[in-house]
Amino acid sequence: MQGFPILSFIVFTPLIGTLLILLIPKTEKQSIKTIALFAAAITLLLSLMLYFQFDKSNPKIQFIEKSPFSVGLGIEYHLGVDGISLPMILLTALLTLLAIGASWNLENRPKGFFAFLLLLETGMLGVFASLDLVLFYVFWEMGLVPMYFLISIWGYERREYAAIKFFIYTLTGSVVMLLGILALYFYSSPNTFNIATLTKSHFPPLFQEIVFIALSFGFAIKVPLFPFHTWLPDAHVEAPTAGSVLLAGILLKMGAYGFMRISLPILPHAFYKFAPLIAIPALINIVYGAFVAMAQTDLKKMVAYSSVSHMGFVMLGMAALTSAGINGAVLQMFNHGVITGMLFLLVGLIYERTHTREIPKMGGLFSKVPILAGIISFGAFASMGLPGLSGFTGEFLCMIGSFTGELPMYKVITSIATIGLVITATYFLRMLQRVVLGVLPSSLEKMVDLNGREVAYLVPLIFLIIVIGAYPATIINLINPASSMWLNIMKTRVLGG
């Protein structure tokens, strides 16, 4: 497929959808939704084409696209994918499509909603596809405004507070990140924002450390790594279902992806030095996040805190600097996107029917709505890491990876992290016991089960959870060549060779 700029098409198809939606009068609700669905579906199809054409054994960046026009200031239009970014692109395309499916019955200003949703998709896809730091930053920021609007217009009761908190947190992080990007540009010779070129340059250790801290500020807030996680529960809980799905499913991954794409290859020395300092907050994420999740009575808040806990595994796997750990981290990013995306969809479905998210006000769903209850149980088991389902594979790899980490402290950290697993099982089982089992309260007598459309958008996720759980190599074969290559390059550069 030489010459066909498939990546640009993937990134900008949603944007074209946004523009088309803006041209339609807002009363034409049906055509707005149809356009949104088509744009997202075409994006997914293109991403699948990309997946099938992708050379899985090649660790290098593929499908490189460079614009012959100069943007000026050393900025280039430069896209490409490798085994680390491809799963993220697939995940983004899939979850956005499902989020649109889940928002099908939205009545409140659908024009703006779907326009923002597609704009957000372009931003997210752009982050994963760009190989130029400024382009990366532009796409990174591009997701911010639509997400702000999605939360603050279509969210729940405290939406404005949550939206502004999300905005200020991420923006502060990203302006500091920009400072780091500028420093990289001016310290490199010749001056460049090109990520691939920057990975070949050797920066002095002190400089690497300073830039690493600046970049990490932006990435860690997005992940979010303890203690920068406080925006997350508010934003997740107040966001509309589609917003929560994309926040948890994709936006959090952008932070971890930034660490892998930028910090690890460009700043190997600093990454190596600071890795233990990432592992400790990651551990706090795992254990503390799980404990706080257990204390929640709000179903959505519980899932939100479980995200904090699960993202801790991603960071722990990455910080261990072992092949298994990094593979596990990317795999866990993918799996967490699928599983938590599904859980947020389910919470949305429950809320639509019960108009409450309070766990104590629910009960006995299994007797009334068996399909919904069954899928909830399935999602909960996947999320707590039941072997055979995908949640297990990612977490297990992260744990193996971190346990075999070089420093002895990793063994201790990994051992403590297992507490997190136990607690995760505890709160999910308690949730199942109180929501799915038990006695149906009289207020829920009229509850109806899932309809065809709702089942339809949950099925792909269920399918993925089972397939990756049974045969994780589907994704790992994609990740492994690239992640091993970067890890080896890094180790030879730091430890000499």
Site residues, another protein (CB under 8 A) = 69-73, 112, 134, 137-139, 141-142, 144-145, 148-149, 152-153, 160, 164, 167-168, 171-172, 175-176, 178-179, 182-183, 185-186
Compute the least distance from the CB of residue 181 to another protein, in Å. Answer: 10
Which of residues 52 and 69 has its CB atom nearest to another protein in the complex?
69
Considering beta carbons, is residue 183 or 280 the nearer one to another protein?
183
Q: How far is the CB of 179 from another protein (least distance, A)?
A: 6
Least CB distance from residue 156 to another protein, whole Å?
14
- Closest approach, Cβ 142 to another protein, in A, equals 6
Tell the residue number behind the tokens 């006995």, with chain if given: 364
d(CA 373, CA 466): 18
What is the nearest approach in angstroms of another protein to the Cβ of residue 229?
19
At closest approach, how far in Å is the CB of 165 from another protein? Answer: 11
Measure the CA–CA gap between 390 and 460, rounded to whole angstroms.
Answer: 13
Buried-exposed string 90-119: b where 16+ CB fall within 10 A, e elsewhere: bbbbbbbbbbbbbbeebeeebbbbbbbbbb
Residue 324 to residue 401: CA distance in whole angstroms: 5
Unique residue bearing structure tokens 């697939």 = 90
How far apart are alpha carbons 290 and 104 in whole angstroms?
33
Q: Between residues 138 and 419, which has the closer beta carbon with respect to another protein? A: 138
Q: From the CB of 174, what's the least distance to another protein, in Å? A: 9
d(CA 336, CA 15): 26
Q: How far is the C-alpha of 24 from the C-alpha of 22, rounded, in Å? A: 6
Closest among 356, 145, 152, 363 to 238, alpha carbons compared: 152
Minimum separation from the CB atom of position 345 to another protein (A)? 25
CA distance 114 to 110: 6
Q: What is the smallest separation between the CB atom of 138 and another protein, expressed in angstroms? A: 4
Q: Cis peptide before 224, with omega less than 30 degrees from 0?
A: yes
Rama region for 129: left / alpha / beta (φ>0; ψ in -120 to 50; rest): alpha
Among residues 336, 334, 327, 224, the alpha carbon closest in space to that of 282 is found at 224
The answer to whether the CB of 25 falls within 8 A of the CB of 108 is no
Closer CB to another protein, 165 or 261, in the complex: 165
CA dihedral 385, 275, 234, 39 (to 10 degrees): -70
Residue 72: CB minimum distance to another protein, A: 3
Whichever of 185 and 366 has its CB closer to another protein, that residue is 185
Of residues 155 and 268, the one with the C-beta less far from another protein: 155
Q: Report, in Å, the least distance between residue 369 CB and another protein.
A: 34
Which tokens go with 126?
Answer: 């752009």
CA gap 378, 484 in Å, rounded: 33
Which CB, 145 or 466, lies closer to another protein? 145
Shortest reach from residue 71's CB to another protein, in Å = 5
> Min. distance of Cβ 70 from another protein in angstroms?
5
Q: For residues 174 and 294, what is the distance between their CA atoms, to the nearest angstrom?
A: 31
Nearer to another protein, 144 or 425 (CB): 144
